[in-house]
Structure 1
């Protein structure tokens, strides 16, 4: 039986949570194994393709060394379907009370997406203190996160959106950033070529980032 996770468990496991888009369920297991071998265990499989739930289910069943999560949760139904497929955490591009309540009722940690102070306050009212800052670069980047350290000093963020190997360290150096989300360690061309060795190398590099 899997031990219950918290949002902090998800955020503190590694400096980077990969944002994964899969087109073929056959890629799910070898991709997850490559990431886990590189030290990246918390895997956000986005619900952006028709096969996403099947991919989550395969990872959950066949790759015990990884933790399957679901990204792009936009409704209570998304959260329920993801949990049924075996997702152990959720990530949303924004925040609504119905999504927050669904994940709470399911016992599934959620990193809700926020881009404004009002959205942070709404998520906090519902008990969420670990949040996804999205889209990070477009919504103000590192300067915005620095500005939020005063009024929202207790909140920890996972900035996602425009993060890459060249700027991840800048975000990770901030006191209120626990980890970052990014797709650079799971490039579409590497997945298409089934270049799992490259993905494992990118995962090792991401795991080594300091925060």
Structure 2
């Protein structure tokens, strides 16, 4: 009799515990829904990205190249195909400045009998065409003029490309070019005023 009572009590207790335990609900996401949601997200991303319109694309301009024999004006200016060209990134003395004539003849010596290639980069404030000029063997003429001490780097335009090629104390030698680069135009103007006074005397 006692055994029956115990068995009944256990059954009642088990039923009570089972009824009181909360059911776990499992949410299943079908592969179909996942695929649909992914495709929608891809469509959204595609809608956000701009379309390539061939008509709206800006054409890339090919570089302007001048080739031919050069007529030398001064240490950093030459004429190719009737176009006055300023050497890119360097500054040489003016003809009436110290070493001006030497700089001109150094450039004449480099370019004499050669076909010069000039890749145009821009127009300067004086309307001159600025170009990276090279010799037939590929040497950069601006670099060659700096290496022989007849021009100095102009960082404002070259980004310092030729600075390491400068000879020691070259800026003391080409002091007027250095003065112009550093905004000391009063030094330049004073020198030219003295030269004019000498000419009148």
Shorter-normalised TM range: under 0.3
Larger Rg: 2
RCO comparison, higher one (Cα < 8 Å, 6+): 1
Compare the two structures and name the one with the higher helix fraction.
2
TM-score for both structures, normalised by structure 1: 0.23
